[in-house]
Amino acid sequence: MRRLLRAVPLLGMLVLPLVHGQERNDIPACYPYAQLTQHQPAPSGRELVVIIDETVPMPQALQRAAWDSAMRYVRPGDSVRLYQFSAFLQDHYMKLLFAGQLDSPLQGKVRNSLGSQSLKQLDKCLQQQAAFFQKTFGQHFVAAFGKPGVDIARSEIFGSLRSITGDFAERPQRERVVLLVSDMLENSDFSSFYKNNRIRDIDPGAELNKVQQKNLLADFAGARVYVHGAGLVAGDAKGAYRSAGTLQRLEQFWGDYLQASNGSLAAFGAPQLTIDLR
């Protein structure tokens, strides 16, 4: 994946100051630069939210598969956000690593009504914007995964998802897709999906009741959630084998949890997601 992140122009001339109160946008905008703001198309209304669990030692092949899934989904006009979460430890906590809005190209009568010089400037900027997005988002994406040799024993999935989804209702989108890259194995003071260093066979209904009683449901605001990495345990770990029954109960729990959290489980990659985001 790192080969994809070769250098592109940083487009410093396009970077605009962030107005107080304006939503964060890490992607330089093209229409103000080309002095065509009045002709700028509306955003697509689609948003991809990538959430990466830092506590999971994710093999390179699975990291690359997650990256490919995200890149196949994103298109011009989309909003993209990238979160990293961990256990609540020093230097390890939930972070918004990237937030940006891609521009849509001009089409049809509006495009045909503009001068060639303005269009040339805009088109060149849009090409550079796409490259800038892939490079910058890719750098943060790679950095979001846990570092080799750093073992984070705890994982605060429920609390992190509740925090991350806290702004979904305030940022309405026509269509929101979440790519959740995690083993989906809570291991906190609240609950643990492990027993004797092995994944335990959870009771989905009992676990959901515990989550509800502790007010740890999230609000996904109708988002479709694709899980990548579920049940993943390092190959040399004790009890790395997971039975089909264990994974089925894990999937059932997260499906029920998401339904109770105003979302839906679109696919459950255990560990690899094998369908495209839609």
Q: Where are the domains of the chain?
A: 18-30+42-102+139-269
Query: Is the pTM higher than 0.85?
Result: yes
At residue 147, the pLDDT reads 73
Q: What angle do CA 127, 49, 165 make, to 5 degrees?
A: 145
Options 3.40.50, 3.30.450, 1.20.120, 3.30.70; which CATH number does 18-30+42-102+139-269 get? 3.40.50
157-162-163-167 Cα dihedral, nearest 10 degrees: 140
State the pLDDT at residue 192: 86
CA angle 157, 232, 56 (to 5 degrees): 50
**pLDDT tens digit at each of 278 positions of the chain:** 544 334 344 354 454 434 435 789 999 999 999 999 999 999 999 999 999 999 888 999 999 999 999 999 999 999 999 999 986 555 657 899 999 999 999 999 999 999 999 999 999 999 999 999 999 999 999 999 987 655 655 678 999 999 999 999 889 999 999 999 999 999 888 888 987 667 889 999 999 999 999 999 999 999 999 999 999 876 544 445 578 999 999 999 999 999 999 999 999 999 999 999 99
What confidence score (pLDDT) does residue 5 get? 38
> Are the beta carbons of 62 and 271 closer than 8 angstroms?
yes
List residues bridging with 181 in a β-sheet: 52, 228
Two tokens at 113? 């009504």
